[in-house]
């Protein structure tokens, strides 16, 4: 397994470099110029050409990319063009918020999706199965931002509840922090749990027809023991794959939830950077998230061997 991990880590390097190059190119193709925006919108007294030189944007394209890439290898993602803060410092401050929200959403996804998928598979083609499958289709069809808006509106009208306008760190007040993230994590988990439920159901139906399940029944094992010890463990492999991708996407893809519930996480930070053409911030966040997703996929691959001992790494 050690050789497999080392080989995979080395293969990650060209992948990350390619992602960084694509993001760097795409940013230069977006309409609008950050220097003109800074001069017209914020009234910078500097001449556009002087401001461009001070920001390093006067260099040729390849020189800018080379400087950016060398800085990334030194874990230096540059400075925000607007605030002057280090991009890495901003990411370190905002990432725990998005990561906590993503972890809570994934936990709710497992709690709702896996048991419902197992029950639906065991009750195949019954009224309960049809009801649960309809619930999953509704979860996939209804947009999360609509659910969040409805909760906000009717929560304020009926229960006089509105989310806190300021973020409460976990270290300051763990209970209030978890309560603040409870509703947005549940809203995020609705669509995720629906896809996990459908995958769990499909894999359980496939696994329950395997020969070793019939052998377990012939030995006289109880139905609950067959499901938990034999069927579910093998059925979870594709579910873990989906959840790994979902976790990586959630960390940087919670823009709407963070905006609605006033959470200063990575998604809101990325949205603001795109609106203000803050190139170093956008490049730094995308490179960080791409690296995170790649390593999450590596961990998911390694978990296959834990769930199924027949899987070997070479």
Angle between the N-to-C axes of helices 232-252 and 87-122, in degrees from 0 to 180, rounded to the nearest 10? 150
33, 277 Cβ separation under 8 angstroms: yes
Q: What is the mean pLDDT of residues 224-248?
A: 77
Tokens matching residue 228: 């938990």
Query: What does the chain come to in residues?
Result: 314
Full 3-state SS string of 219-247 = CCCCHHHHHHHHHHHHHHHHHHHHHHHHH
94-307 placed in CATH 1.10.1510.10: no
Can you give the pLDDT at residue 231?
Answer: 78
Which helix (H) or strand (E) is 102 found in, with range? helix 87-122
pLDDT grade for 93, boundaries at 50, 70 and 90: confident
Q: Checking phi first, is residue 142 left (phi over 0); if not, alpha (psi -120 to 50) or beta? A: beta
Tokens matching residue 222: 């109880």
CA gap 267, 252 in Å, rounded: 5
Q: What is the mean pLDDT of residues 306-313?
A: 62
Tokens matching residue 283: 């490049």
Nearest to 27, CA basis, from 72, 73, 53, 61: 61
Give Cβ neighbours of residue 109 (< 8 Å, ≥ 6 apart).
Answer: 189, 192, 193, 196, 243, 246
Tokens 């377990």 belong to 216
234, 308 Cβ separation under 8 angstroms: yes
CA gap 144, 257 in Å, rounded: 8
Can you give the pLDDT at residue 129?
Answer: 84
Can you give the pLDDT at residue 303?
Answer: 72
Mean pLDDT of the chain: 79
- In tens, the pLDDT along 64-75 reads 888 888 877 887
Q: Please give the residue that has the higher pLDDT: either 81 or 149.
A: 149
Furthest C-alpha separation in the chain: 83
CA 237 to chain centre: 19
First-to-last alpha carbon distance for the chain, in angstroms, is 6
Which DSSP letter does residue 46 get? S
Judged by average pLDDT, the poorest of 181-185, 189-193, 253-257 is: 253-257
Can you give the pLDDT at residue 307?
Answer: 63
pLDDT grade for 12, boundaries at 50, 70 and 90: confident
- In tens, the pLDDT along 254-290 reads 777 887 888 888 877 888 787 777 778 888 888 888 8
Can you give the pLDDT at residue 253?
Answer: 64
pLDDT grade for 60, boundaries at 50, 70 and 90: confident
pLDDT grade for 308, boundaries at 50, 70 and 90: low
Among 40-44, 104-108, 221-225, 282-286, top mean pLDDT goes to 104-108
pLDDT at 43 over 60: no
Can you give the pLDDT at residue 284?
Answer: 84
Which DSSP letter does residue 254 get? -
CA gap 209, 129 in Å, rounded: 18
Q: How many DSSP H helices and E strands does the chain contain? A: 14, 0
pLDDT at 79 over 70: yes
Q: Record the pTM.
A: 0.77
Can you give the pLDDT at residue 98?
Answer: 85
CA gap 36, 14 in Å, rounded: 34
Q: Please give the residue that has the higher pLDDT: either 164 or 127.
A: 127
Question: What are the sequence ranges of the domains in the chain?
Answer: 2-58, 94-307
Q: What is the mean pLDDT of residues 131-160?
A: 82
pLDDT grade for 39, boundaries at 50, 70 and 90: low
pLDDT at 37 over 70: no
Can you give the pLDDT at residue 44?
Answer: 55
CA gap 204, 114 in Å, rounded: 10
Q: What is the mean pLDDT of residues 78-86?
A: 77
DSSP string spanning 151-186?
Answer: HHHHHHHHS-----SS---TTT-HHHHHHHHHHHHH
pLDDT grade for 139, boundaries at 50, 70 and 90: confident
């Amino acid at each position: 397994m050690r050789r497999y991990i080392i080989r995979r880590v080395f293969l990650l390097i060209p992948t990350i470099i390619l992602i960084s190059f694509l993001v760097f190119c795409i940013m230069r193709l977006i309409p609008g110029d950050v220097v003109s925006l800074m001069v017209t919108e914020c009234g910078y007294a500097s001449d556009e050409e002087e401001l461009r030189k001070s920001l390093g944007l006067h260099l040729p394209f390849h020189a800018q990319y080379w400087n950016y890439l060398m800085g990334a290898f030194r874990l230096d993602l540059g400075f925000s063009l607007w605030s002057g803060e280090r991009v890495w410092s901003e990411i370190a401050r905002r990432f725990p918020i998005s990561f906590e929200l993503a972890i809570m959403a994934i936990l709710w996804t497992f709690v709702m999706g896996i048991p419902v998928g197992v029950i639906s598979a065991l009750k195949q083609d019954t009224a309960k199965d049809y009801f649960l499958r309809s619930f999953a289709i509704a979860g996939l069809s209804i947009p999360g931002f609509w659910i969040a808006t409805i909760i906000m509106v009717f929560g304020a009208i009926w229960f006089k509840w509105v989310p806190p306008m300021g973020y409460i760190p976990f270290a300051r007040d763990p209970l209030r922090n978890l309560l603040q993230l409870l509703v947005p994590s549940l809203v995020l988990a609705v669509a995720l749990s629906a896809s996990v439920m459908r995958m769990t159901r499909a894999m359980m139906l496939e696994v329950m027809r395997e020969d070793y399940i019939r052998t377990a029944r012939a030995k006289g094992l109880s139905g609950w023991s067959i499901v938990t010890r034999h069927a579910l463990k093998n059925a979870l492999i594709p579910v873990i794959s989906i959840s790994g991708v979902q976790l990586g996407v959630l960390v940087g893809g919670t823009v709407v939830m963070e905006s609605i519930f006033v959470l200063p996480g990575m998604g809101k930070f990325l949205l603001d950077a795109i609106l203000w053409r803050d190139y170093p911030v956008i490049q730094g966040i995308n490179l960080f998230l791409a690296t995170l997703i790649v390593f999450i996929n590596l961990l998911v691959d390694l978990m296959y061997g834990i769930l199924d001992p027949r899987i070997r790494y070479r």
